[in-house]
Amino acid sequence: MMLIDRDSPERADVQELLAGHLADMYATSPPESVHALDPAALAGPEISFWTARADSRLLGCAALKRLAPGDGEIKSMRTAEWARGWGVASALLRHLVAEARAGGYRRLYLETGSQEFFAPARRLYERHGFAACPPFAGYVPDPNSVFMTLGLDAG
C-alpha cells in the first residue's frame, strides 16, 4: 500500500532519488534550462515536500512551492525508476492538487522540459488538467522549457 506523507528532502534515500533527478535534468537540458532544486533548496520555508512510500521503501517525491498569494508551483516530481508504471506520479500529483486546494491556492504552475525525455511528464500533467501557459514567476521564454498551469476550483 502506498502512503504519501510530509517528509524531509534531506533524508538519505530522498537525496539519492533527487541526485538521479538532477543528473537526468543536466543530461537532457542545457544548464541554464535546469530549474530542478537540490535537497537544501527543497527544505526551504516556502516549500512543502512529500514522499510516496510502500513498506518504508521510497517510491517517489514531489514538492509544492508557494509563489504569490494563491499561487503555487509543483517542483521535483520524481518516481524511482523501479516503481515507474505503478501510478506513483499520478498519486503524488493528485495529492499535491488536493493539498493546494486545502491550502487556499487558486492556481498551480509547473515547468518541465520540452525534449522527448519529458514527454511522459507532459502527458501526465495534461491528463490531470494542466494546460500550456506563458512563463511565470520570473521564468523567461526558453525553447527547452514547457510551462503549464491548472486553475483550482473550490472542490
- Reported as a single tens digit per residue, the pLDDT across 80-101 is 999 999 999 999 999 999 999 9
Q: What does the pLDDT average to over 134-145?
A: 96
- Give the 3-state secondary structure of residue 110: strand
Residue 135's identity, in one-letter code, is: P
Q: What is the 3-state secondary structure (H, E, C) of 25-94?
A: HHHHCCHHHCCCCCHHHHCCCCEEEEEEEECCEEEEEEEEEECCCCEEEEEEEEECHHHCCCCHHHHHHH
Q: What pLDDT, on the 0 to 100 scale, is given for residue 123? A: 97
The residue written with cell numbers 494563491 in the block is 70
151 — pLDDT class (breaks 50, 70, 90): very high
pTM, 2 dp = 0.94
Is residue 55 over pLDDT 80?
yes
Q: What does the pLDDT average to over 61-65?
A: 98
Angle at 141 between CA 151 and CA 105, to 5 degrees: 20
The residue written with cell numbers 526558453 in the block is 142
For the chain, the helix, strand and coil percentages under 3-state DSSP, each to the nearest 5: 35, 30, 35
Report the alpha-carbon distance of residue 112 to residue 61 in Å, rounded: 16
154 — pLDDT class (breaks 50, 70, 90): low
